[in-house]
Amino acid sequence: MSRLVIVANRVPDPKEGGATAGGLAVAMKDALANREAVWFGWSGKTAAETGTEAALARHGRTTFATLDLGHDDYKHFYQGFSNAALWPVLHYRLGIARFDRRDFAGYQRTNLAFAQALAPLLQPDDTVWIHDFHLFLMAADLRALGCKQRIGFFLHVPFPPRSVFNGLPHAEKLLEALEAVDTIGTQTEDDAENLRAALIAIGKGDVAMRVGAFAIGIDATGFAKLAAQRANAKEVVRLRDSLGGRSLAIGVDRLDYTKGLPQRIAGFGAMLERFPRHRGKITFLQVAPVSRGDVAMYRALRRELDEGVGRINGQMAEPDWAPIRYITRAVARPTLAGFMRMARIGLVTPLRDGMNLVAKEFVAAQDPADPGVLVLSRFAGAAVELDGALIVNPLDPDDIAEALDAAMDMPADERLDRWNRMWTSVRAGSASIWCRRFLSALEGTTDVADAGQAEAQPASDQPEKKPRRKRAA
Ligand code: ADQ
């Protein structure tokens, strides 16, 4: 079997065998176990200049190939164009995006530097799979360097309607670069349709035919097992004891403005205001470790949350009960799994999210005999599959409040019925199935339109069947 070359902005730590890269490493686990692979990308370190030759480290059948980022590229490629411009625009937040031509130049330079460092490592029959919004241009750079391998591109975040995307200066350049890609994946059919429309509008109808929806999943049974094992772990028992018999609602997110955290806090406050019988009966634990702390928007978000939590706790707390507990430190994954299993309610209310794996993890973590209720944003990709959740508009605190009220009062048979539906779909769309589907579309064993179909998606959400483009010779 040919080698698989994974390209992502971040590369897991080879010393830990890839265990630290979160969702993507989990999703790639089976594929990496079965074939020779290279995982290529940024080391996570900065240096005077971006590296020209990748540092190589071997672990099992995988070679980890990493480059340090130069200080200038870190500023313009990573903090600038990727995180301050593309990230908000792709999440429909044109108004808070910050553009600077030097940032776009840094983005072009870094995509090219990645391509130049990867090209010499490639073998003729490798399959190259590029991940996410940091690397829109890289496939075109590889082609310009003469690379003929199959190249796939998967966008983990949403793709907005083209009227929003076109607000981004240089939007057309990013779309044009996708010409170099053989199979283009998005999380949902809505994202795929938006991307197809943007491509068709610039005369790239043939490229639009290579776009398909491939909903990412989790290692469902693995996470369920982890949660069951941790149900009585020390930290979990400590949390349970501290609740004094009250119900737990839990939120687990990176501290990011797309995750809807201030609105969620306001929704929880609105629930206590409007349904006072729940006061003193429920505690909300929000775990949100700081990410991208050096980007100004993120510092402002942190202040806003500190104030929001402080205000509600100040108004509502009793000497023996604080309604909200808020942790900005990282909590270990196994412990989080145990916390999720204990929770009566999972609050997952992003303003926009490609998929949102936390929603699926919450479902997997539940005790099948007494499952909790998921309150889920209609704007998370996961909402397409998880129709057993209480679906809310995250911008409306009253909607969140009403869903929390319904979740608190939900009888056991309804909780069971909703959870069973969600668990069936989380299992059917596991991470390894996602990986297989995408690779079979890219490697030519399935039509892109068929390969993206998840069993759990309603028939109306299926992409129209489109012919697959043959790879350039
Ligand atoms: P993220 O925006 O990072 O990912 P998400 O899918 O929710 O969002 O989380 C990824 C992983 O990080 C999950 O496994 C989760 O458990 C873990 N995680 C999140 N918060 C954590 C916390 N506080 N402590 C410890 N672990 C935490 C991007 C896109 C998503 C898409 C994924 C995968 O933005 O829409 O679902 O990629 O494609």
Tens-level pLDDT at each residue, the chain (473 residues): 799 999 999 898 766 654 444 568 777 877 788 899 999 999 999 999 999 999 999 998 999 999 999 999 999 999 999 999 999 999 999 999 999 999 999 999 999 999 999 999 999 999 999 999 999 999 999 999 999 999 999 999 999 999 999 999 999 999 999 999 999 999 999 999 999 999 999 999 999 999 999 999 999 999 999 999 999 999 999 999 999 999 999 999 989 999 999 999 999 999 999 999 999 999 999 999 887 666 677 888 999 999 999 999 999 999 999 999 999 988 999 999 999 999 999 999 999 999 999 999 999 999 999 999 999 999 999 999 999 999 999 999 999 999 999 999 999 999 999 999 999 999 999 999 999 999 999 998 777 766 665 444 433 333 333 333 434 33
Asked if 113 and 238 sit in the same domain, the reply is no
Residue 38, token pair as written in the block:
């290279």
Residue pair 113/78 in contact (Cβ under 8 Å)? The answer is no
- Calculate how far, in angstroms, residue 134's C-alpha sits from the geometric centre of ligand 1: 17
Asked if 160 and 240 sit in the same domain, the reply is no
Asked if 48 and 193 sit in the same domain, the reply is yes
Asked if 176 and 226 sit in the same domain, the reply is no
Question: Domain for residue 298, yes or no?
Answer: yes
**Exactly one of 141, 182, 191, 353 is catalytic; which is it?**
353
Asked if 413 and 447 sit in the same domain, the reply is no
Length of the chain (residues):
473
Residue found under tokens 């993120």? 298
Residue owning the nearest CA to atom 28 of ligand 1:
156
Asked if 335 and 228 sit in the same domain, the reply is yes
Question: Domain for residue 463, yes or no?
Answer: no
For the chain, give the longest Cα–Cα distance. Answer: 72
Which of 357, 386, 435 to probe ligand 1 with, by most ligand atoms within 8 A of CB?
357
Question: Domain for residue 473, yes or no?
Answer: no
Q: What is the pLDDT of residue 456?
A: 40
Residue 251, token pair as written in the block:
């939120």
Question: Domain for residue 460, yes or no?
Answer: no
Asked if 265 and 323 sit in the same domain, the reply is yes
Asked if 41 and 149 sit in the same domain, the reply is yes
Q: What is the pLDDT of residue 262?
A: 97
Q: What is the CATH number of the domain that holds 322?
A: 3.40.50.2000
**C-beta 385 within 6 A of ligand 1:** no
**C-beta 216 within 6 A of ligand 1:** yes
Q: What is the pLDDT of residue 450?
A: 66
156 is catalytic: yes
Question: Domain for residue 29, yes or no?
Answer: yes
How many CA atoms does the CB half-sphere of 49 hold within 13 Å? 5
Q: What is the pLDDT of residue 470?
A: 39
Asked if 178 and 271 sit in the same domain, the reply is no
**C-beta 355 within 6 A of ligand 1:** yes
Given the CA of residue 289, which atom of ligand 1 is nearest to it? 23
Q: What is the rounded CA–CA span in Å between residue 361 and residue 57?
A: 31
Q: What is the rounded CA–CA span in Å between residue 355 and residue 350?
A: 10
Domain that holds residue 372: 220-427
- Calculate how far, in angstroms, residue 161's C-alpha sits from the geometric centre of ligand 1: 23
Q: What is the pLDDT of residue 461?
A: 34
| Total number of domains constituting the chain | 2
Question: Domain for residue 228, yes or no?
Answer: yes
**C-beta 289 within 6 A of ligand 1:** yes
Does this model's pTM top 0.75? yes
**C-beta 73 within 6 A of ligand 1:** no
Asked if 70 and 205 sit in the same domain, the reply is yes
Asked if 211 and 246 sit in the same domain, the reply is no
Which of 358, 434, 435 to probe ligand 1 with, by most ligand atoms within 8 A of CB?
358
**C-beta 132 within 6 A of ligand 1:** no
In order of 96, 150, 227, 360, 408, the CA distances from 418 in angstroms are 37, 41, 19, 13, 14
Residue owning the nearest CA to atom 26 of ligand 1:
333
Q: What is the pLDDT of residue 22?
A: 58
Question: Domain for residue 469, yes or no?
Answer: no
Asked if 31 and 126 sit in the same domain, the reply is yes
Question: Domain for residue 461, yes or no?
Answer: no
Given the CA of residue 288, which atom of ligand 1 is nearest to it? 23
Q: What is the pLDDT of residue 158?
A: 98
Q: What is the pLDDT of residue 197?
A: 98
- Calculate how far, in angstroms, residue 464's C-alpha sits from the geometric centre of ligand 1: 29
Given the CA of residue 358, which atom of ligand 1 is nearest to it? 7
Which of 254, 325, 363 to probe ligand 1 with, by most ligand atoms within 8 A of CB?
254
Q: How far is CA 156 from the centre of its chain?
A: 6
